[in-house]
Amino acid sequence: MFIDFLLSNFEIFIFLSILLIVVAFILLFLLQIQNFRSNKNSIIEYAKSINNTSKEIKEYLIVIGNLLEHQKKEILNISEKTVFIEREINRLGNIKGSEDVLNVAINMARQGNSKEEIIDKTGLREDEVEAIYTYYKK
């Protein structure tokens, strides 16, 4: 009896089954389209976020580059000042050293040491010792 019912309405059951499969495919297709749109929007949002982040990083690197350039100029300025100070210290040391040598030579001349002794001890030239010896000899 059930089989007779099935056989008599077989075409209707097949048609309804095919219709159900087609409707299921259409629903699946619509669901997949919705999924693609959602993924597309997510990808667009991520791309915008990455683009904004890269712009921020670019601006940050430009600022850092400018700071480094300014610091480089400051370091060069400080380096030039240091070289100048070193030259001045050397110049003052040379002046002080020559004053000390001259004082030693003057004192030796006052004590009556010979010109050769003054030249040996101070390392002054002979004409310098001659001048000192002439003016400061006892």
**Alpha-carbon distance 53 to 126, whole Å?**
78
Predicted pLDDT at 92: 65
Q: Which residues of the chain are modeled with pLDDT < 70? A: 91-99, 138
Predicted pLDDT at 86: 86
Predicted pLDDT at 88: 79
Handedness of CA 43, 47, 48, 52 (dihedral sign): positive
Decide: helix, strand or coil at residue 120.
helix
- Give the end-to-end CA distance of the chain in Å, rounded to a whole number: 158
Structure tokens at 66: 């400018």
**Alpha-carbon distance 70 to 65, whole Å?**
9
Decide: helix, strand or coil at residue 103.
helix
